A and B are shown apart, each in its own frame.
Chain A
Amino acid sequence: MPTPIAMPKLGITMEEGTVVEWPYAVGDRVEKGQVVLIIESEKAEVEIEAAETGVVRHYYVDAGDTVPCGTLLGAMTEGEDDGFDVAEFEGTHAAEAATQPGSSAGRAPRRPAPPRPSAAPVRRLGAAPATPAARVRARALEIDVTTVLGTGPGGRITREDVDEWAERRKRLVVVAQGVSLDVPQHGSGEPVLLLPGLGTDVSAFAQQIPALSASHHVYGINPRGVAGSDAPEQEGYTVAQAAADAAAVCDVPAHVVGASLGAAVALELALAQPAKVRTLTLITPFVTSDARLDAVSDSWSRLAADVTPDVLARSLLPWFFSAAFLADDTRRERIVRGLGTTVARVPAATLHRSVTGLHAWSGTRTADLAQLAVPTLVLIAGGDLLTPDATSIATEIPGATMVLIPGAGHGLTIEAPEAVTEAILAHLSAAS
């Protein structure tokens, strides 16, 4: 006797459903409990499990079709050769369905389908809800609240976000035709450019800025699409363009400090426009990404589209910090908060564009390191999982100073803030 697969009635309000997907082809064997059908009802996808182990014999309804609850969708038999007649079974089912409304082939759905990776990120720039106070403040400041980046729970836009946005928009620096970057500045003296890594903003240098700005004019450069900077619609934000943007911020030679992808930008700037660079500091740099860096950057941009900043920050912890650093619960939670706020300022679209730029740049400058003629400091984290070639960079740049911080993770400015600050200050004073 064939087993019917019918459109289930899930809840009292459901009247019809849409077949989204048949995961198996006709003739496939399906184990009891496996998902034999995915349907959509009232905007939610539901997986339907096979009630019995068997072989799929026929599908009466195609994926994409919407039918009333109870409609026969498909049929299975125990063995592949068991007797089965397509038309006869449909007739039998129709007669049964008339006396047993609501009968269905599947057991109760196991659970709603998990969110699937989607091309359209759910946490897009401006898509998050804004608190009433944020809306009122935005109106008062004549800001379109939907443009503000939210750092509240679930990316909610708070009043503080609006205020910060307004501040950021005040300090914009034009770097190209129609493109302005959010460049927080501190202190006075010789210029220092700070270039943050992938998916972060200048706040990654928060613990270095006070000491640096005591004797220097610090320009923190939030790249395209990050924090308050403009986010022009481009396929990718290239490293060369980021270097050009950095050069445009300050027209005199500067001490250039970059971390990770920011180090790539700094390196690119030093190679492309050496006259603009007085000294170079490369923190956990890479010139060629490996499969792990690729995997992290890929999962990062997917997560940014689908999860809250808090969850994203937590998922990044093992990549950024050492076990010893994370062992302190209180510190770990504080780091999550800070990192959560930071990653909230980088929309998924920006991440996607930055990763595209990273891939395009990877491997293009390996041979050029020997040409570098500026005084260079390379800061290396002993426990860095993401930059396998950092040590060779330090070796290949002529005259480069290498400082190794044993055991530390990739997020060096946060995990070893004092050591980083000291090394940079020493490097700057040695150069002058």
Chain B
Amino acid sequence: MISREEALDVYQQLRTIRSFEEKLDTMMKAGKMAGFLHLYVGQEAVAVGVCSHLNDRDYVSSNHRGHGHCIAKGVDLKGMMAELFGKKTGICKGKGGSMHIADLDRGMIGANGIVGAGIPQAVGAALTVSVKKTGGVAVAFFGDGATNQGQFHEALNIAATWKLPAVFILENNGYGEATPAEFAAPMTDLAVRAKSYAMHSLVADGMDFFDVFEKAGEAIDRARKGEGPSLVECKTYRFLGHFVGDPIGYRTDEELNDWKTNRDPLPTFETKAIEMGLVSADALRRIDAEVTAEIEAAVASAEEAPFPSPEDVLTDVYVTE
């Protein structure tokens, strides 16, 4: 269970991800940003519930919907915002953009534009911590769609065969782009796919921080203890489209409203945390204000920051020193 301090921190992260993504949605629609943006709104409890167990020696690989994972793994907000604006001060000097945010110092080994590609990389990171015996673990975040990719299956097979300290976090938000999961795979609980690899698996309520925290905690503990990898399927939902500009149309308003009204991870956390006596509503409202201010500051800083010089196109291709 988490402490009061930790609960405030959890809420601060949930709120930061939510506000960060909503701000991007607004700015993108206002024409202030370029590129593809895949927003994480609705799935915040998964990233925060998992990353609450991690420290800087642990690794995370992410996917195209990666802002939440980055924030939860502690990547600098200002650096992220500047990156999304394509600025020189961006966390990747403006060379990666939304789908390629990484911060190796924080163990964030990269968002990824190729569905499923981050999964074997997390297994590789698990191999590193295993060979180097650092005691770390490696976590791969990916969606339901990625479980239909070869990289998912090949990586799980290797991780399980080698008993690596890897944890696979499957965020099943019900849709692979515009296609409902049931049209892409013949089972409801994708977690059963772990059984093919004799791998431990769990199913969590991805809208509930506490459930994700518990199940992910179990998986991460097993990995740290050398008991091999696990797959945790988190049932979740994205409140926005696949990308900003998605005309949607593949799901009903009723379905969306039901998830937003009854299962939004932020109010769910707030209610439970208050019930558990971990936080007060006032404290959370103060956090809301702080987060808003922090995000506004990040936007202002990103807007003021310089763009890269055109000649920077040539740098950072190779390690040259």
The answer on direct contact between A and B (beta carbons under 8 Å) is no
Residues of A at the B interface (CB closer than 8 Å) are none
Residues of B at the A interface (CB closer than 8 Å) are none
